[in-house]
Amino acid sequence: MMPKVAPAVVVLGQNSVAVARKIISVLPGATLYGLAGRTWEVDVSFSNFGETLRELFAEGRPLIGICAAGILIRTLAPMISDKRQEPPVLAVAEDGSAVVPLLGGLSGVNDLARRIAEVLDVKAAITTTGDIRFRTALLSPPPGYHLANPDDAKTFISDLLAGAQVKLEGTAPWLSNSQLPIDPNGNLIIKISDRLSHPTANCLVYHPATIAIAISDISGTNDEVVASVQQLLADAELAPASVAGIFAPINISANHAIHAVASALGVPARFFTSNQLENLQSQGYSLAQAVAIAATGTSGKLISTAETEIAIAISPHPIDPSTIGQPRGRLAVIGTGPGSSQWMSPEVKEILKSATDLVGYTTYLNLVGSLAEGKQRHDSDNREEIARAEMALDLAAEGRYVAVVSSGDPGIYAMATAIFEVLDRHTKPEWDSIDIHVAPGISAMQAAAAAIGAPLGHDFCAISLSDILKPWSIIEQRIAAAAEADFAIAFYNPVSKERTWQLTEARDILLRYRTPDTPVVLGRNLGRLGQAVKVITLEELAPAVADMRTIILVGSSKTRTIQRSDGSISVYTPRRYG
């Protein structure tokens, strides 16, 4: 059994990063934590090893420490109390020569150790007696099976180790192919069943994930729908732990009740297109029945229910939902910040790790760095926003998890608006199923302001000087109105190869309302190689001092500069106006 929560791989030195990357290659979604000052190109930097490790452990994150086992044990010792709740914890040698499972026998630590050992080409140091003797882990069954009575397992395994034999009822290859002492007359019993049962101390019950619940229509609150499904299972005397997934037509995938049922049962929701169901419906099956059969195959057994919009089918073998239908498509529009990975939010990093596809302008996709590894990239030119948005929506409609990458904040002169423009004007029916989320980032104006002090410390506005999407007459009006109202102003897209005169025009408008010595901040390549932040005056503002990688902050009449003793300059706009 592999852990359901993405693991954290923790390293203390740069020498361990290469081993960590090997481990992460077989652990999708894993996060690399590195000690600040001693590691680089990691997902998360930390300064306090003990606090970080204990926080991750408390969150239930599987922990893989590339360090001595002793430091892990001493760090986590005060928190070790309930072995049924603890996540897997492993120590891996710095050179990858040893993999030692320490904690989490009930949560799949040995399976995790074997997977890591395989990619490192070593043997895991597993010491669990049952695992060694019987070549199977009764306490942590493989995916597709759930142990109903883990509290009875300790005594059960002790009896096996003492020489008892076991009778196998039902079919489970992982048990029949093990070295368990299986005997038809055994006084211990292992039962594999999708039916509700009442386990006893001498009988371990495993529920296989063989049940598919199909929903074709939804009415009622989330709680009502969840209760209805649970009652149907109880009436059919089926074990909820044997439910492999919730299945439905793609056109209702946005319905919250479907996901509420899936969440209540701890299973994924998967969806079918109308084309995938058409043949079954033509044979006389209801839509719900067609979905159930599509999920279990023609060998599945339909269970009659009182609800026409819900059907239950049972497969003869465990169901792997990831191979059936498609998930609800997800589209995240993210802002990476100006460029530095240190300015990328934890939310954005998590999205980048989980996404299947990255869509964006090539320059911005390159800023993602190692977080783009293993993703399908869809690069495009910077001016192809609408085509990029349509492609991202189409990819998400196929069930992919798409991250549309912008620099800065995605909602400020960036791709979030393009996505919603396309969604508003050119909606395709299949786009209705997509879960859309916008994850903010640090904008260029915030980065420039922070680099020089606090020039946006009072009322301010942002204006793009590009007249590609709006006429210059509107831009003129806005510059004049902002200048007259005495806002500090952030100018985006100030100069390009084709546009040079707009910045001069903007300066001339501002000079009607501001003094020539008004402070102006020029921020270029913020957070990237070649970052430069410079302070000039308004009368010095000219096209030659800026380009499309420059953000310009023009102070209000109250903005001040401070000459520091070390020769640097700080710029700020007072909070009090008067």
Question: Mean pLDDT: which of 41-45, 300-304, 398-402 is highest?
Answer: 398-402
pLDDT at 1: 47
* Cα–Cα distance list, 514 to 48, 136, 395, 507 (Å): 49, 78, 49, 10
Q: What are phi and psi of 515, to 5 degrees?
A: -75, 155
Q: Return the bridge partners of 63, or none.
A: 8, 89
Question: Mean pLDDT: which of 19-23, 108-112, 565-569 is highest?
Answer: 19-23
Binned at pLDDT 50, 70 and 90, residue 132 comes out as: low
pLDDT at 130: 61
Q: Label residue 441 left, alpha or beta by phi (over 0 means left) and psi (-120 to 50 means alpha).
A: beta
Look at residue 546 and give its three-state secondary structure. coil
Binned at pLDDT 50, 70 and 90, residue 85 comes out as: confident
* Token pair in block for residue 100: 């030692």
Binned at pLDDT 50, 70 and 90, residue 217 comes out as: confident
302 or 127, higher pLDDT:
302
Taking 90 as the threshold, does the pLDDT of residue 502 lie above it? Answer: yes
With CA atoms as reference, report the closest residue to 228 among 257, 197, 194, 254. Answer: 257
Half-sphere exposure of 286 (CA within 13 A, CB side): 16
Residue 240: partners with Cβ closer than 8 Å, 6 or more residues away: 230, 233, 265
Place of tokens 């309930």: 82
* Token pair in block for residue 175: 């048990």
With CA atoms as reference, report the closest residue to 296 among 280, 319, 277. Answer: 319
Q: How many Å apart are CA 358 and CA 331, to the nearest integer?
A: 10
- What pairing do the DSSP bridges indicate for beta strands 488-492 and 460-464? parallel
290 or 126, higher pLDDT:
290
pLDDT at 561: 96
Q: How many Å apart are CA 239 and CA 193, to the nearest integer?
A: 8
Q: How many Å apart are CA 545 and CA 536, to the nearest integer?
A: 10
Residue pair 308/296 in contact (Cβ under 8 Å)? The answer is: no
What's CA 391's distance to the chain center, in Å?
21
Binned at pLDDT 50, 70 and 90, residue 384 comes out as: confident
Q: What mean pLDDT is predicted for residues 512-539?
A: 93
Taking 90 as the threshold, does the pLDDT of residue 452 lie above it? Answer: yes
pLDDT at 238: 96
pLDDT at 134: 66
Taking 60 as the threshold, does the pLDDT of residue 2 lie above it? Answer: no
Residue 232: partners with Cβ closer than 8 Å, 6 or more residues away: 305, 306, 307, 310, 312
Domains and CATH numbers, the chain: 8-127 (3.40.50.11220), 145-208 (no CATH), 211-323 (3.30.420.180), 330-442 (3.40.1010.10), 445-572 (3.30.950.10)
Which segments of 404-529 does DSSP mark as H helices, in order?
Answer: 415-425, 444-452, 472-484, 501-510
Residue 116: partners with Cβ closer than 8 Å, 6 or more residues away: 23, 26, 27, 64, 90, 92, 99, 124
Count CB atoms within 10 A of the CB of residue 372: 17
Binned at pLDDT 50, 70 and 90, residue 263 comes out as: very high
Q: What mean pLDDT is predicted for residues 112-133?
A: 81
Q: What mean pLDDT is predicted for residues 375-391?
A: 89
pLDDT at 329: 95
Count CB atoms within 10 A of the CB of residue 508: 11
pTM of the model: 0.78
Q: What mean pLDDT is predicted for residues 201-226?
A: 92
pLDDT at 178: 84
Q: How many Å apart are CA 392 and CA 403, to the nearest integer?
A: 8
pLDDT at 442: 94
Q: Return the bridge partners of 238, or none.
A: 195
> DSSP character for 104?
-
Residue 368: partners with Cβ closer than 8 Å, 6 or more residues away: 336, 352, 358, 405
Residue pair 534/436 in contact (Cβ under 8 Å)? The answer is: no
Q: Which percentage of the chain shows pLDDT scores above 90?
A: 66
